[in-house]
Amino acid sequence: MKTKTDPSAPSSARDKLLFTPGPLTTSHSVKEAMLHDAGSWHFEFNAVVASVRERLLQLGGVSRGRGYEAVLLQGSGTFGVEAVFQTCVPAEGKVAVLSNGAYGERMIQMLKHARIAHLALRTGEDTPSDPAALDRALAADPAITHVAAVHCETTTGVLNPIDELGHVTHRHGRTYVVDAMSSFGALPIDLAGWHIDFLISSANKCIEGVPGFSFVLCRRDVLLACEGIARSLSMDLIGQLKGFEKNGQFRYTPPTHAILAFSRALDELEAEGGPAARCARYMRNHQTLVTGMRALGFRPYLDPAVQSCIITSFLFPPDPEFDFDTFYRRLSDKGFIIYPGKISQADTFRIGSIGRIFEADIQGLLAAVQQTVNELGILVETPTPPPAVETAPSFS
């Protein structure tokens, strides 16, 4: 029941499709880019690194001429977020964290381990972060130096208002950190207009590369003002930036194959029409998924008004005999990999709409879900009408 995702891929090379928020399904040509070895100090590889850094700034709508830098860092997106905290929060600093899911809570854990003072501003897992609550907190506590928020909280798929949060943070004169792991490269983000000082994302999300490194887009003056603060050697973003400026190299062994794949993935993003076109494809995937799952009797966890097109959480069927592990394995046997739930207050599973997948792949997944439901005799709810048709976010 596999569907043809990538026309360039020979049938023998097609893997199971990943309906996850990353790592995700990549194109055959991105995989091919990793068939080459690269010397980590060689000038040709360093030219690729320099090009990737420039292109990331362009994707963010900023440039070095406007005072921004792109710093690549070995490791997953979590490493990138922690590197910002480890590099940029002074000993007397305090971070207000907007949290409505596992990734906001992970930020809090990072701060606890680093012994950095922090304030958790929580909302429910089905509720976007509250700019008014942030405004009150910043007005009441002058010790807060930084604000940290997650754009798309993939615990549920909820989209947080990082634009409004940024305006509040800027009005109070604090430094703004955004985890844009599952949104950058597809959803519209205005780094300068939303007053984002540090934006973190990773290679294996909406740009459709492979795991291996994260990257930080930041205001150069804000970063350099943190000289001497870093609590970590390997996570020191200023040290990494100085390495790039000195000789174009990573300070320590770079993820060479992942960077070659990422360069190819950037080519494919440009060929598709850029973030706006990619977002439109993801939105079509999401709409097809939600409409089809509702028709099968599955209910999304979130209200459509706060749901992103990145990943969707679905409630378990009411049948007490439903077993997610069995359901998951049956879908895997048919060539489709979904994601377990991560919500603390409800039993859910998640299905991503991003990566090198298209509407035909979503339809293939829906057929596999229907077949699996029939095979297992699962009782699902009465099918419900689809929600109002959503439109892709504006990139104006």
Can you give the pLDDT at residue 3? 40
Average pLDDT over residues 21-37: 95
Average pLDDT over residues 78-91: 97
Average pLDDT over residues 356-385: 91
Can you give the pLDDT at residue 42? 92
> Which CA distances in Å does 119 have to 133, 147, 201, 389?
12, 9, 23, 37
- Quick one: CATH architecture of 36-269? 3-Layer(aba) Sandwich (3.40)
Confidence of residue 4 (pLDDT cuts 50, 70, 90): very low
Which H or E run contains 315? strand 311-315
- Percent of the chain at pLDDT > 90 equals 89
- Percent of the chain at pLDDT > 70 equals 93
Can you give the pLDDT at residue 345? 82
DSSP letter string, 4-46: ---TTS-GGGPPPEE-SSSS----HHHHHGGGS---TT-HHHH
Can you give the pLDDT at residue 344? 78
User: For the purposes of burial, counting CB atoms within 10 Å of the CB of 344, is it exposed (0-12), middle (13-18) or buried (19 or more)?
Assistant: exposed
Dist. CA 327–CA 304, nearest whole Å:
25
Average pLDDT over residues 251-277: 97
Average pLDDT over residues 342-368: 94
Place of tokens 């992103």: 308
**Domain 11-26+274-376 -> CATH class:** alpha beta
Residue 87 has pLDDT above 80, yes or no: yes
Domain boundaries, the chain: 11-26+274-376, 36-269
Can you give the pLDDT at residue 253? 95
Global pTM value: 0.92
Read off the tokens for 107: 């930020």
272-293 confidence digits (pLDDT tens): 999 999 999 999 999 999 999 9
Confidence of residue 381 (pLDDT cuts 50, 70, 90): confident
Dist. CA 184–CA 205, nearest whole Å:
8
